[in-house]
């Protein structure tokens, strides 16, 4: 089954709640982008159930909006664990001691260890080394996204999927940008855990992201 995760990129809890309701008909997973919210209220957003949540508090250096203290950033992720979030997404470049503490105390929550490069796609050798470093942390899911500056970059990143599957590691890997759209389409077909797609063009969380209707229509045609 090809799975879709819809990011919620609203600035208020009220708007986020409405978007979550809208996403329910399309999504297998819903990503709560806490870094967009001015006053986060995780409990009220996660109440109601029905879908699995990924809680993300993305820092600005990796495409998010959070610019505050790292300990405060992790505090909301620990709250997500306490509330029983299905997944928490945390960047590999985070403070190592805070990262280790979060992974060691994840309870039933699954950890997505993520890496984002908004400038380029590294070489296949660099990507392999990056994956191996991330694998050593023992995450439940490895997420690697890079900017495609050429069509060939898609194949570099997509090649990580069979590599991870041989190691029995769940992975989400694709390219961003206009030239990276093909990887968003094909990654789940190759065995990636899911694809990210927006509710509409005004709610895109990363460059090159397709809308959920666009993505599902393409998948339907390819079947």
- List, in order, residues 6 or more apart from 91 with CB less than 8 Å away: 58, 59, 62, 113, 114, 115, 116
Could you tell me the sign of the dihedral formed by the alpha carbons of 94, 95, 100, 105, in that order? negative
Nearest to 86 by CA among 15, 21, 5: 5
93 classed as catalytic: no
CB–CB of 96/125 below 8 Å? no
143 classed as catalytic: yes
Neighbours of 67 (CB within 10 A): 10
* CA gap 62, 46 in Å, rounded: 25
In the set 116, 168, 179, 216, the catalytic residue is 116
CB–CB of 79/73 below 8 Å? no
The helix (H) or strand (E) run that includes residue 50 is none
CB–CB of 32/45 below 8 Å? yes
Joined together, the tokens standing for residue 115 give: 């890496």
Q: Is 2 exposed, middle or buried (0-12, 13-18, 19+ CB in 10 A)?
A: middle
In the set 106, 143, 156, 179, the catalytic residue is 143
Catalytic residues: 116, 143
């Amino acid at each position: 089954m090809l799975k879709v995760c819809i990011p919620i990129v609203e600035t208020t809890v009220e708007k986020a709640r409405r978007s979550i309701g809208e996403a329910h008909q399309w999504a297998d997973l819903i990503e709560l982008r806490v870094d967009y919210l001015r006053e986060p209220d995780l409990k009220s957003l996660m109440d109601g159930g029905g879908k699995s949540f990924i809680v993300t508090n993305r820092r600005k250096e990796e495409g998010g909006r959070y610019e505050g203290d790292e300990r405060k950033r992790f505090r909301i992720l620990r709250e997500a664990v306490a509330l029983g979030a299905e997944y928490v997404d945390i960047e590999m470049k985070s403070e190592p001691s805070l990262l280790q503490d979060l992974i060691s105390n994840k309870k039933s929550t699954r950890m997505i260890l993520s890496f984002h490069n908004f400038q380029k796609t590294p070489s296949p050798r660099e990507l392999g080394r990056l994956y191996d470093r991330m694998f050593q942390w023992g995450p439940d899911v490895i997420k690697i996204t890079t900017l495609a500056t050429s069509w060939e970059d898609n194949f570099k990143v997509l090649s990580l999927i069979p590599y991870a599957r041989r190691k029995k590691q769940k992975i989400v890997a694709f390219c961003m940008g206009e030239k990276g759209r093909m990887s968003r389409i094909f990654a789940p077909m190759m065995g990636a855990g899911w694809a990210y797609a927006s509710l509409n063009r005004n709610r895109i969380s990363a460059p090159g992201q397709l809308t959920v209707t666009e993505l599902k229509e393409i998948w339907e045609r390819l079947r």
